Structures are given as structure tokens and as C-alpha cells.
Amino acid sequence: MATNLKKIGNSEFEVKYSVKGEALNAAKQKALKSLASRVQIKGFRKGKAPIEIAKDHISPMQLANETINESINPAYQEILKEHNIRPIAQPNVECTGYKEDEIELTFKIIVEPEVTLGQYKELNIPLKKAIVTKEETDNAVNKLLEDNAELTLKDGPAAMGDTVVFDFKGYINGKEFDGGSADNYSLVLGSNQFVPGFEDQLVGVTAESKKDVIVTFPEQYIKDLAGKEAKFVCIIHEVKTKVIPELNDDFAKSLSLEGVNTVEDLRKHETATLLARKTNEAKNQQFTDLLNKVIENSTLEIPERLIQSEAASLKQQTIDQITQNGLTYEQYKEITGMSDETLDNNFRENALTRLREYLILNKIGQVEHLTITRNEVEQYYESVAKQYGMKLEDVKKALSPNEQNIISNLYQNKIERFLIANNLEEKKAEVKEEAKKEEKKEKAPAKKTTAKKTTKKEEKTEE
């Protein structure tokens, strides 16, 4: 049916859609079937009663609500098809009229905001040169020695860097509190795993001894504990110390690193690893600077509802992560000392940044006609299979349900590569390299040849 697309704000449209006739009857039948599948009637298994019998156990209000729900998606798809619009978020839908023979639905749809691109090529954003110092290589090798150290039992008192294995119970005002006890806990003194002052008081303890540790929890901590003094009764079982291996060729070989047989090989390996990491960090920073400049040069207005929707999504992701770490959102606020207002402002700013980046990059992709081919998707599957040593068909089976996300990520990566490739600083480097090659060619002595030039007449004869 023909509908009227009415603009109600920046990138936001309103459409009224009437569901009637065959479309309404189809929605009612689907609604009835769906409700009947959830009805429990004596003498029948749940959802197995005939619809004619189930109808008597479904209220008119239930049927009306379910019919509206069943009408929304078909109506929405018709609107998108009719007006050829691409929404960027889920629409707001209201039932603005309900009759026995007609339902009126009002959709508020946000489409991709119009982006006016400024300069995004030849921005001359430099790539910082990656350098690895001797000190950095030394630190990396020393860390390998530390990581491969053996823990051995120590007869003497514990020192910073030693590991203490102990049981502890925490008390506040003589009462044990939740989460304040553990058995056979291994603590590296100086690792700052516990509240300030706790680890310092374990310096000097010996195996099979007892130690009372008195600490005051920080003011910015879980509400029930913040600012309170606690006593931890600690029963020490073992004190262990690290025995650092000697840096020699045998140690280098024991790491089983490709091409590493000597200390010199190991130093070269760690230098190369550090250089690769620093180079990658420099490239990431270059792209960040480049993208910030592109955003600065471009203009767009993002609808408030879209910002709020993205901010709510970021907030939920944060809550999920906090929950996985065994905390509540309230405890997280107490520990960080941030209010709801501060956190919500942060979510909003992050949402705005993400939306700007996404919309501007997408616009560049459209303008430059960048696309992801089926061959590129297949190459991605092949690279994953090779990386994890899996069969290609198994990778496809596991990842294909999320293929749209894969395509979206590949598309974003292609746009990023395009921007880097068209950054003036990159082009200068390429031009300079080509010029060097040409200069070498010109300086090289010409090779003598005895081959006779073929005339057009001879070419004809040969044919």
C-alpha cells in the first residue's frame, strides 16, 4: 500500500501504515496459532490442543496484542521496500489505532545521517619510526629469565619478590566478612594484588608461622568495606623464592624458539619481536591520527535517539563484563568512585565517537565504491583454517552464521587500508622508492645485444 514518508527530524522519518484485509487476517491467524502453542488446557499437552478449543482460553486483549506484534515486521519490510530507505537502527513502533478490521501502526525510522566529507586523501600524517634500544632488548631477555625461573622452598624469611602460600581470614570489628578469606593462596609479595600495606606486612614471615595483618581499606572501595580497618589472620604454609636460570646458550635453546640456538640469536629474536610490536603500534597510532583528521574535516549530524541507543548498548556491554568478573554495577561505581551521571556521560561520548567513525568511514567506502567480494570472504575462511589448523568446512560451519559481521569487519578493514594507502606520507615513500629503482636502472650499463630488429615487413612474412 502507498504510504507517506514524513521527515520529523535529522535523519528521522515517520510513516503511518494501515494493516487490513488479507494482511490483517494473516496476522490474526499467526497470532492465534502462536498463542495456542503456549496455552495449557487440561487433558492436552501444552500447546497441543486444537485451535478451536484453545481459542476459548485466549482473551481478546491477548489476541489483539499478538496480532499487532505479528503485523509489525511485514508492515516494516513493505515500508523499506516502498521508499527504498536503509535504516541504521531499530524503529520505534506504536499502535496508533485499533479496530476489528484495521490496525494503524506508526513507525519512526532513523536512516543513515548525511555525511559531508572533507579532505580525506593526502593528509600527510607521518608514521613514527620504530626503534628498539639495547636497554629494551635487555629487559625483554631478563623477563624471559624471570618467566622461566623455578620456585623453590625457602628456609629463611620472606622478602619482596618471594611467593607466600597461606590461609587468611578477614575480620572487621571482630566479625568475619564475606569475601575476606581463602585457603592455600599464593601471593607474590610486591605484586600489589591486595590492598595497600597488606603485602608489606608479610615481608619477614617464615613457613609454619602465624601473622596478623592490619589494613585500612581505601575510601574508594566496595561500600561495605570502604575506609574500614580490618584484621587478617594469616597462617603461613610455605615461602618460596625464585631461582633465575643462567643466561647461556643452553637456556636459549630450551625456549624452543625458531632459529634460536645461542644467546645472540635470542637477543636478535627479542629485538625483532619488539620492533614488530612497536611498528604495529606506530601504524595503529598513524591510523588513529589520520582518522581523527578525517573526522575533523567532515561534518554530520547524528540523531539524539541513535546516540542514546548506542550509549545504552555500550553500557550493557560494560555491565556484562563487570558481572563476568564477579561484581555488580553498584560495586563497580563504588570502586571507581564514578557517579551514574559521570558514567552515562562517558558512555554517551564513546557512543558519539564510535558513530562518527563508523558513519564517516562508511561514506568513504560508498564514495570510493569499495566492496567485499565473495572471493575475499572465502579467503578469510581459508586464512582462519590455516591459522588454527582446522578443516575449511569446519571453519565455515562455525563462522557462517555470523558471516554478515565478518563481511562488515572486512569492509571496515578495506576502508582503513584505503585511507592509509592514500595518505600523502605513504605515497611520498612509494614515489621515493620508485625513483631509487629508476636511478639504479639508469646508472646500470646497457647490455649489448646481437638480436636483429624485426621490420613490419618481416613480421608479415613470419605470419
Cα–Cα distance, 127 to 49 (Å, whole number): 70
Same domain, 98 and 168: no
Q: What residue type is 257 in one-letter code?
A: L
Convert the pLDDT of each residue in 238-281 to its tens digit: 999 999 999 999 999 999 999 999 999 999 999 999 999 999 99
In a domain, 329, yes or no: no
Output the CA–CA distances (angstroms, integers) from residue 282 to 126, 279, 287, in the order listed.
10, 5, 9
Using CB atoms within 10 Å of the CB of residue 222, give its burial: 0 to 12 exposed, 13 to 18 middle, 19+ buried.
Answer: middle
CB 371 within 8 A of CB 413: no
The pLDDT assigned to 435 comes to: 52
pLDDT at residue 2 tops 60: yes
pLDDT at residue 327 tops 50: yes
Same domain, 82 and 154: no
Convert the pLDDT of each residue in 35-82 to its tens digit: 988 888 887 888 788 888 888 888 999 999 999 999 999 999 999 999
Average pLDDT score over the chain: 90
Using CB atoms within 10 Å of the CB of residue 463, give its burial: 0 to 12 exposed, 13 to 18 middle, 19+ buried.
Answer: exposed
Query: What are the DSSP calls for 113-130, one per residue?
Result: PPEE----S---PPPPPP
- Give the residue numbers spanning the domain of 403: 374-439
In a domain, 434, yes or no: yes
Same domain, 159 and 80: no
Number of domains in the chain: 3
The pLDDT assigned to 57 comes to: 87
The pLDDT assigned to 444 comes to: 53
Convert the pLDDT of each residue in 175-190 to its tens digit: 999 989 999 999 999 9
Same domain, 11 and 96: yes
| Average pLDDT of the residues in 377-394 | 95
Same domain, 41 and 97: yes
Lowest-pLDDT range of 96-100, 208-212, 363-367, 454-458: 454-458
Same domain, 106 and 156: no
In a domain, 158, yes or no: yes
The pLDDT assigned to 449 comes to: 39
Bridge-based pairing state of the strands 175-188 and 12-20 = unpaired
Q: According to DSSP H, which parts of 169-208 are helical? A: 198-202
Instruction: Tell me which residue of 22, 24, 1 sits closest to 99, measured CA to CA.
Output: 24
Domain boundary among 243, 263, 296: 243
Could you tell me the CATH number of the domain that includes residue 170? Answer: 3.10.50.40
Same domain, 161 and 208: yes
Tally Cβ neighbours within 10 Å of residue 108.
16
In a domain, 197, yes or no: yes
The pLDDT assigned to 448 comes to: 41
Tally Cβ neighbours within 10 Å of residue 380.
19
Cell of 434: 620508485
Grid cell 541513535 is found at: 306
What contacts 24+ positions apart, CB below 8 Å, involve 5-8? Answer: 5/83, 5/85, 8/108
Same domain, 180 and 87: no
Length of the chain: 463
| Average pLDDT of the residues in 124-141 | 96
Q: What residue type is 396 in one-letter code?
A: K
Q: Quote the strand ranges of 208-361, DSSP E.
A: 209-216, 229-243, 299-300
In a domain, 65, yes or no: yes
pLDDT at residue 354 tops 70: yes
Convert the pLDDT of each residue in 398-421 to its tens digit: 999 999 999 999 999 999 999 999
Cell of 190: 610486591
pLDDT at residue 119 tops 50: yes
In a domain, 364, yes or no: no
Same domain, 104 and 156: no
The pLDDT assigned to 1 comes to: 65
Could you tell me the CATH number of the domain that includes residue 13? Answer: 3.30.70.1050
Using CB atoms within 10 Å of the CB of residue 104, give its burial: 0 to 12 exposed, 13 to 18 middle, 19+ buried.
Answer: middle
Tally Cβ neighbours within 10 Å of residue 155.
8
Domain boundary among 188, 211, 243: 243
In a domain, 145, yes or no: no
The pLDDT assigned to 6 comes to: 92
Domain boundary among 209, 243, 277: 243
Q: Is 417 helix (H, G, I), strand (E, B) or coil?
A: helix
Contacts of residue 174, defined as CB under 8 A and 6 or more positions apart, other chains included, come to none
Give the predicted TM-score (pTM) of the model.
Answer: 0.74
Q: Quote the strand ranges of 316-427, DSSP E.
A: none
pLDDT at residue 331 tops 90: no
pLDDT at residue 89 tops 90: no
In a domain, 30, yes or no: yes
